[in-house]
């Protein structure tokens, strides 16, 4: 158990819909990262937040957005969903400081299925 929690574990929805994925980082970690993992794309970095502020952006679509709240939990919002958005979405947190870190601790993931 990494200490990072994610909800829900599974999510099934239809194309065009909007969903919100939630993540709680390890106690004390200020940085939260979001990743998407699909069979054909591998593990893709989406976005990083540090103490409520966006710090780095990866391959995140404009239909996707995220935020980190004062209690440090984070939410990833996916809208206008397409079949291709079906994937595992992971949240990770890191014990390091402001800069993105290579020592990250991943949650169990949310499996999103778009039908």
Binding site for other proteins (CB under 8 A): 2, 4, 33, 42-43, 45, 48, 55-58, 88, 90, 92, 96, 99-109, 111
CB of 9 to other proteins, least distance (A): 10
Helix (H, G, I), strand (E, B) or coil at 84: helix
Count of CB atoms situated within 10 Å of the CB of 107: 25
CB of 16 to other proteins, least distance (A): 26
Q: How far apart are CA 25 and CA 9, in angstroms?
A: 16
For 85, list phi and psi in degrees, rounded to 5.
-85, -10
Q: Which residue has the tokens 């290579």?
A: 102
CB of 108 to other proteins, least distance (A): 6
Choice between 22 and 96, CB closer to other proteins: 96
Q: Which residues pair with 48 in a beta bridge?
A: 33, 56
Choice between 80 and 99, CB closer to other proteins: 99
* Residue closest to 77 by CA, chosen among 11, 27, 30: 11
Choice between 5 and 79, CB closer to other proteins: 5
Choice between 46 and 80, CB closer to other proteins: 46
CB of 80 to other proteins, least distance (A): 24
């Amino acid at each position: 158990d990494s200490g990072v929690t994610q909800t829900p574990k599974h999510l099934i929805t239809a194309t065009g819909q909007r969903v919100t994925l939630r993540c709680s980082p390890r106690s004390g970690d200020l940085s939260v990262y979001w990743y998407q993992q699909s069979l054909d794309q591998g593990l893709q970095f989406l976005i990083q937040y540090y103490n409520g502020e966006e710090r780095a952006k990866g391959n995140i679509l404009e239909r996707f957005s995220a935020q980190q709240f004062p209690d440090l939990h984070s939410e990833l919002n996916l809208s206008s969903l397409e079949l291709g958005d079906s994937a595992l979405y992971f949240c990770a947190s890191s014990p390091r400081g402001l800069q993105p870190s290579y020592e990250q601790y991943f949650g169990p993931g949310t499996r999103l299925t778009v039908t």
